[in-house]
Amino acid sequence: MQVRNFLFDKGILKSASFPVPVIGIGNLSTGGTGKTPHVEYLIRLLQKEYKIATLSRGYGRHTKGFMVLKAPANTWTYGDEPMQYFTKFPGIRVSVGEDRTQAIDELLRMNPRSEIILLDDAFQHRHVKPGHSILLVEYDAIFKTDFMLPAGNLREPFSGKKRADTIIITKSPNILVPIERKNILEKLEPAEHQQVFFSFYKYGEFNRVSGKQSGMLMGASYYMEKRFTILMVTGIANPSGLLEYLKAYG
């Protein structure tokens, strides 16, 4: 990874730029920083004013190549995160493709009116040079020592953070005391050009997986009164925050 990054930094390996704003969202570890919720946040933030397109690799799908999601769609064909974007945001264009450079070319050829492209999980995909790069770092991981794969969960050394334009500390406490913020910034040592933000999760209402809501699942207040036994099944890389949240209800 260090040799690869060196070759890109020196221009020996080439990075492509594009005539539309490309925002890359990614992390240094194998997962657990909250990429999907932050991509959704950007979609909600931007879709009212811009025509948004998302591009993911489509991890877990049983197909290859560039594809634009269209109904009827399923996770077998497109992967779970793209399916989530497609289901929740019908007004945007959702696409998948392993070769991000070729995929963006295809996306712009098919839909030249796209105004912003969101690259999902692309911090290490350096063949595309995003106009703005967002690096997600998990709050609980700031002061922990981790190693590169396979000894640890890092995809590349922590020094790779220098490529980010914006760093977001994810899964932070809702109320962050100033001394804790100061300690994190000292540990992180952001460059002058880097903006640092802190984000936290706010969970929505309980819903059935399919079908209409019932009285039993109408909201958190009902759980506070009745206290059910909860079985949690999740595909989240680090579900500790969700686990702590659900403990309050059962």
pLDDT tens digits, one per residue of 69-89: 998 889 999 999 999 999 999
Q: Please compute, for residue 148, the number of CA atoms within 13 A of its CA located in the half-sphere on the CB side.
A: 8
In a domain, residue 132? The reply is yes
pLDDT at 94 over 80: yes
In a domain, residue 24? The reply is yes
DSSP 142: T
In a domain, residue 209? The reply is no
152: domain CATH number?
Answer: 3.40.50.300
Integer Cα distance of 116 and 134 in angstroms:
14
Integer Cα distance of 7 and 121 in angstroms:
21
User: Rg (Cα) of the chain, in Å, rounded?
Assistant: 19
Lowest mean pLDDT among 8-17, 136-145, 165-174, 194-203: 136-145
Q: Which residues contact 50 (CB under 8 A, 6 or more apart)?
A: 115, 116
In a domain, residue 135? The reply is yes
Looking at residue 249, what is its pLDDT? 76
Q: Categorise residue 92: left if φ over 0, alpha if ψ from -120 to 50, beta otherwise.
A: beta
Looking at residue 212, what is its pLDDT? 59
In a domain, residue 12? The reply is yes
Looking at residue 224, what is its pLDDT? 53
In a domain, residue 203? The reply is no
Q: Are residues 13 and 96 in the same domain?
A: yes
Please give the order of strands across the beta sheet that includes 52-56.
67-68, 93-96, 52-56, 116-120, 22-27, 132-138, 166-170, 195-198
Amino acid code (one letter) for 216: M
In a domain, residue 210? The reply is no
pLDDT tens digits, one per residue of 114-153: 999 999 999 999 999 999 999 999 998 888 888 888 998 8
Reduce the DSSP state of residue 57 to 3 states and report it.
Answer: coil
Q: Are residues 224 and 104 in the same domain?
A: no
Lowest mean pLDDT among 55-59, 143-147, 207-211: 207-211
pLDDT band at 184 (very low <50, low <70, confident <90, very high): very high
Q: Are residues 130 and 219 in the same domain?
A: no
Is residue 190 within 8 Å of residue 196, measured between CB atoms? yes
Q: Are residues 153 and 221 in the same domain?
A: no
Q: Are residues 9 and 132 in the same domain?
A: yes
